[in-house]
Amino acid sequence: MTSLPDPRPRLSAMFADLTATVAGIEAECRSLGPALAPSALAHHRPTLYRAVVALGDWINAFLAGDPPPADIQAVKERVTGLIRLWSATGPFFDHSFGKLRGYPGDFETIEIIYNCRPSGATLPALIFDDFYLHTMAARAVRNRLAYLVDRLGAEVRTQAHAGARSVRLLSLGSGPARELALLANDPVFCETAAVTCLDLDQEALSFARERLSGRFDGRVTYLRGNALRFARDPNRPAQPFHIIYAAGLFDYLRPDQATQLIQDCYGLLAPGGRLIIGNFCVELPANEQLLIEWLLEWCLLYRGEEDYRRILAATSFDADKLHFEYEPLRGNLFAVAER
Catalogue all structural domains in the chain, each as residue range(s) with its CATH number. 8-131 (no CATH), 139-338 (3.40.50.150)
pLDDT over 50 (residue 2): no
pLDDT at position 1, please? 42
In eight-state DSSP terms, residue 245 is E
Report the C-alpha gap between 236 and 167 in whole angstroms. Answer: 17
Output the pTM of the full model. 0.93
Q: What percent of the chain has pLDDT over 90?
A: 83
CA distances from 16 to 12, 69, 202 (A): 6, 25, 45
pLDDT at position 37, please? 83
Report the C-alpha gap between 250 and 69 in whole angstroms. Answer: 30
pLDDT at position 36, please? 83
pLDDT over 80 (residue 24): yes
Select the more confidently predicted residue: 324 or 32.
324
pLDDT at position 44, please? 93
CA distances from 95 to 110, 190, 209, 233, 247 (A): 10, 32, 22, 32, 19
pLDDT over 70 (residue 201): yes
pLDDT at position 321, please? 84
**Tens digit of each residue's pLDDT (9 = 90 or more) over 62-102:** 999 999 999 999 999 999 999 999 999 999 999 999 998 88
Q: Which has the closest alpha carbon to 329: 110, 143, 161?
A: 143
**Over residues 131-137, mean pLDDT:** 97
- For the residues of 135-204, what is the DSSP string, one character each? SHHHHHHHHHHHHHHHHHHHHHHHHHHTT-SSEEEEEET-TT-HHHHHHTT-HHHHHHEEEEEEES-HHH
Residue 1, class by beta-carbon neighbours within 10 Å (0-12 exposed, 13-18 middle, 19+ buried)? exposed
Report the C-alpha gap between 273 and 169 in whole angstroms. Answer: 10
